[in-house]
Amino acid sequence: MTIPDKSFFPFIEKSEQLDNITQNIRHTLSTYIQNCQLQSLVLGISGGIDSALCAALLHPVCNQLHIPLIGRSITIETNKQVEIDRSIEVGESFCTDFQHIDLTDIFYANKKMLIQFDDSMLSKLRQGNMKARMRMMMLYDLAQLHHGIVISTDNYTEFLTGFWTLHGDVGDYAPIMNLWKTEVFNLSKNLLRECNAEQKTALQKCIEATPVDGLGISSCDCEQLGVNNYYEADKIFAAYFQGDTSWESHPLIQRYLRSEYKRNNPIQISRNNLLQAQ
């Protein structure tokens, strides 16, 4: 079972610590890019806080190394116009090469492949997974074309809840994977100090926005997680992982327990088990 160690607590909120995180993320990424001789970074931009934070973190690294930060806002059917507008603002503020692309028509064509299609929650989940995989297919093709990698925008809270699509909204390099969602907000607010006016406006809008999955499964993330906001979700996780078993029946913890298979993907049979006599 995935259990965070003591380094994940308490949540990081002091400016000096957040500055240190920023420097470490950028230094580690810069080293990785140079060691792997990468020629670009590709980022999917949703209009949410996670991808906006990644854009703000990546922008100066790409500038320093003289490689493009390729951003794409890839919308499909259920994305609201306010989300699209935010994604465009972020992309135009931080990316070297940015485009907004709508794949709704292609999605409708592909949706016919879904077997036993109906309006149930299962059907919405299946459609949501297809949307995530369509977006990732485009991002990976761009990365191949431009000799780069795809950036993952998942955070630790999403990782624990299984709040992502296998072989969908993931990537090659995950700069904020070990930050709680609470820390994603804290780091984003801290980065406002270094942004120009246009970047600051774009990032601030994402900080203030209601988090949504962009897949049309529910009206907001927290509705699916059984909490009022992500701060509450992280506090429940903190209490549970530090020994408070009274939270075990909460929808958030139940979601965590049910999604362990995703964190262990792909499941592998150990070498010893392969060789064991039956």
CATH superfamily of the 6-221 domain: HUPs (3.40.50.620)
Q: Average pLDDT per run of 10 along the chain, which is 278 residues long?
A: 93 97 98 98 97 98 98 94 97 98 92 66 80 96 98 97 91 98 98 98 96 64 88 97 97 96 92 90
For residue 221, the model assigns a pLDDT of 77
Q: Strands 148-150 and 40-44: what pairing?
A: parallel
Q: What is the largest CA-CA distance in the chain?
A: 67
For residue 117, the model assigns a pLDDT of 59
Report how far residue 99's alpha carbon sits from residue 182's, in angstroms, rounded to the nearest whole number: 29
For residue 118, the model assigns a pLDDT of 62
> Six-digit token pair at 244?
């408070």
Report how far residue 67's alpha carbon sits from residue 47's, in angstroms, rounded to the nearest whole number: 23
Domain segments of the chain: what residues? 6-221
pTM of the complete model = 0.94
For residue 169, the model assigns a pLDDT of 87
Say if residues 15 and 173 touch (Cβ distance below 8 Å). no
Report how far residue 104's alpha carbon sits from residue 128's, in angstroms, rounded to the nearest whole number: 12
> Strand order of the sheet with strand 148-150?
97-102, 69-75, 40-44, 148-150
For residue 220, the model assigns a pLDDT of 76
Report how far residue 271's alpha carbon sits from residue 70's, in angstroms, rounded to the nearest whole number: 40
Distance of CA 129 to the CA centre of its chain: 14
∠ CA 100-102-106, rounded to 5° = 150
Provide CB contacts within 8 A for 42, sequence distance 6+: 70, 71, 72, 139, 140, 142, 143, 146, 148, 149, 150, 151
